[in-house]
Amino acid sequence: MCVTDLISAPDAKAGAPGDTPAPTEVLTSIDGAPPADGTQSLAWVPVEPKPKKKRLALWIGIGLGVFALGAGAASAILIAPGTTVAGIPVGWLTPGAAADAVDAHLAGTEITLTGDGEGAVLTGADLGASIDAAALADKAFAERPLWNLGAWMGDPIAADITLDPAKAESALRAAVPSSFDDPVDAGVSFDATSGTYVITPGEAGTAIDIEALTAAIVGTVADGRKNLDFPGGPAEALPAVSDDDATATAGTLNSMLTTIGFYVGTERTVPVAPAVAATWLKVIDVDGKLVIEADRAAIQAAVDGLAPLIHRPPVNAQAVVNSSGSVLEELTTGVTGRDLGDVSGAADDFAELLEGGEAVFTVPVTETPFVTATLHRRIDVNLSNQTVTVLENGAAVDSWEVSSGAGEFATHTGSFAVGWKTTSQNMGNRDLTQAPFYFQPDIKWVMYFNGDEAFHGVYWHSNWGTPMSHGCVGMPEWRAAWLFDWAPEGTEVNVHY
């Protein structure tokens, strides 16, 4: 019979259907010789499989690869070791975790108030301590990523730590109320007696020095610590508005009082009195700074009354001219007329200027031009009837008798013009033995028109209508005075028979 199916190894397990049986071989005796009884002893045993290849190196390689991948990924999101922000370690952290660590460290920093503080403990959170943790963490990561080995163990990243002044003062007041005596700010007010702004001096008080406390917290955190002692006793607290601040503001206001008003061009057409200006202006304290505030409603009331004050009718000019039209004298200066223009919004505009320290407000105007009237004046001397006639624009204004030059000293005929004028002069020579052999002192209202020939007043005779002089045209002094004023230099003179 076939024994191959009956004999198997003692610990052989039946294979699963379809499995290929393990190969077997004939077993011999221990020493390899046949049994003593001459029988053949048979046994079936599995053939030992060939050794499998070891895969340890593969697994080690896979592990190192995974580690390398992890380290590479971490280096792309973590901050280099040894990095500190404001003294707070942030190495091996993501920027988000670093920001949280910085905020938590600062908020949890404890301040023990010594002395008058009697050991009261406040935290950074109580004092409103803050730092731009997110921006600093981003900066740390940008400058010192984990993958950059050269950035490891770098210098500390400095940072500004601030305290919320209101929150810090509130917490400190609650902890040590005896250390606080509020200072009094300097002020500015209008003094009606002097018509100027004067100051009210400030007064110092006491408080716990928040600036010094902030510096102490910064130093503690920079050292990597979370606890510090700080004196809770009073320190001098200066007014937020000093005497110098108030003096400067008063100076600005008093300077404004000297110029404040509504201007047309450079002319302060409508001045504003200091007492009125003081009702427009108020000095207020805004967070320790003096600010000028202008009352727009009060300014508007003034703007509403501007029209009649700005209005001015035109004034026509008058000028004396010669026959060529050249102006010899301006008798009346022309003045342009004006009326108030559009002043909607003027109150707001002026208020803004005043609040900025400027007190000159230029108002818009519409102008009406003036007209210039010309007067062509000339003097006519008729030697035949010994008269002077004055004409204006061709019409005779007045005429009177005179005394012209006599004999060999007859007044020369021709067309001339008034030249040099003087209100008083001596004529002739004191030495009567020399030409012109006469001397006449203090002759009034002299107007030369041809060499040494002149119009002038005569006080030594009244023989008008008769030639009497050495070439001049004499007349009564009051006539000479009138003619002196009426005829400017350059007035045309016609002498004829």
pLDDT of residue 222: 86
Does 23 score more than 70 pLDDT?
no
SS3 at position 291:
strand
Q: Would you say 121 and 53 are in contact if contact means Cβ atoms under 8 Å apart? A: no
Tell me, yes or no, if the pTM score tops 0.75: no
Does 116 score more than 90 pLDDT?
yes
Locate 172 and state its tokens.
């400190």
Question: Nearest to residue 425, comparing CAs of 472, 485, 462, 467?
Answer: 472
Does 31 score more than 50 pLDDT?
no
* 339-390 confidence digits (pLDDT tens): 999 999 999 999 999 999 999 999 999 999 999 999 999 999 999 999 999 9
- Region for residue 261 given its phi and psi (left: phi exceeds 0; alpha: psi -120 to 50; beta: otherwise): left
Binned at pLDDT 50, 70 and 90, residue 73 comes out as low
Strand partners, 238: none
Residue 96: burial class (beta carbons within 10 Å; 0-12, 13-18, 19+): middle
Locate 96 and state its tokens.
């988000």
Match 């007010």 to its residue by tokens: 189
* 302-333 confidence digits (pLDDT tens): 999 999 999 999 999 999 999 999 999 999 99
* Domains along the sequence of the chain with CATH: 84-236 (no CATH), 258-368 (3.10.20), 375-496 (2.40.440.10)
